[in-house]
Chains A and B, each alone.
Chain A
Amino acid sequence: MASNIQYPENSCVWFIEGDNFVLLTNVNSSGNLNTTERKNWKAIQEAVTDGILIKYYSEPEAVSSINDVPDIDNSLHLALVDYVKKCLYMDKAGTALDPNQSMVSSNASMMHRQKWDEAVKRFGMKKRDKVGGARVMNVPDFR
């Protein structure tokens, strides 16, 4: 079912407040502009099935079986191994009775943490970004 709003790009606005998506319109349920200048923007006055389409960054699906493939780009799959090892080495460092072994495990944990941070935070977007070519045009100044 289509809405009664002819030009949503002019009559609807959105913003996020906390965990809520807020939709405002300046038209009534018939799609005519609200005549009151005050209280011009209001909640939408009509029920529209599938009226809003949102595009968003979402959380990857959780894995539940050993045959699952992680729901992320394959360039980031190996980083998961580093994350798991980082945690397991830190567990080992915390439970080891020998201080030397604890130190070695702690260092190994730090190494895997650095690899994880590098893969995800530093180069994560670059690795999976599908945009090719130049990112910035730096035009030389010939003056």
Chain B
Amino acid sequence: MSVRTITVKEIISRVRQVFPDAPEKYIMSLINDALVELGMYNSKVSTAKLSTTANQMYYSLKDAAKDSSNNILEVNKVFKVYFMDDNGDYMQIPRLVDTNVILTDATSESNLNIPDSN
């Protein structure tokens, strides 16, 4: 049984039924805009591994952030986190909802945004 999918070429040919002169590059950039918008609606689930650094509290999840295999993460929303225990197994760890109640030593922040100097 084959899965019915459509390629960019087919999308372009459908669009060109009504816009015969639409440039291919422009249609592809619109498709990429649509894919970015789709990413906001939980359309794709991914997993990634990150390595910890001693005394580092903050780990970047920006658009260009990479995992431990140097792949770009492209994180929209994190929903589960696991940590490796002393047997090398990954155990799920809880998310802190109220981040104001704990006694935290925050001196080891290394990945904070620093305001511009002027």
Contacts and interface: CB of A to CB of B under 8 A. Distances in A.
B83 A68 contact: no
Interface residues of A, number: 79
A140 interface: no
B111 interface: yes
Interface string A42-76: 11111111111111111111111111111111101
Interface residues of B, number: 84
A69 to B, nearest CB: 5
Contact of A56 (B12, B52, B77): B77
A3 B78 contact: no
A48 B76 contact: no
Given A47-B52, A62-B35, A69-B7, A52 B57 contact: no
Nearest to A82: B34
Nearest to B90: A53
Contacts of B6: 69-70, 74, 77-78
A63 B86 contact: no
Given A16-B61, A24-B102, A42-B104, A58 B14 contact: no
Given A57-B39, A71-B44, A63 B15 contact: no
A49 B52 CA distance: 6
Contact of A47 (B43, B53, B76): B53
B37 A120 contact: yes
A83 to B, nearest CB: 4
Interface of A: 2-9, 12-24, 29, 31, 37-74, 76-81, 83-85, 87-88, 92, 116, 120-121, 124-125, 128
Given A13-B102, A46-B52, A50-B51, 19 more contacts: A3-B83, A5-B85, A8-B84, A15-B99, A24-B96, A43-B109, A50-B68, A51-B51, A52-B49, A53-B82, A56-B45, A57-B76, A60-B44, A63-B32, A66-B8, A67-B7, A72-B44, A83-B31, A120-B38
19 contacts: A2-B87, A14-B93, A20-B112, A21-B50, A23-B57, A23-B59, A31-B86, A40-B103, A44-B52, A47-B51, A50-B51, A50-B68, A54-B75, A54-B78, A56-B79, A57-B44, A60-B35, A71-B35, A71-B44
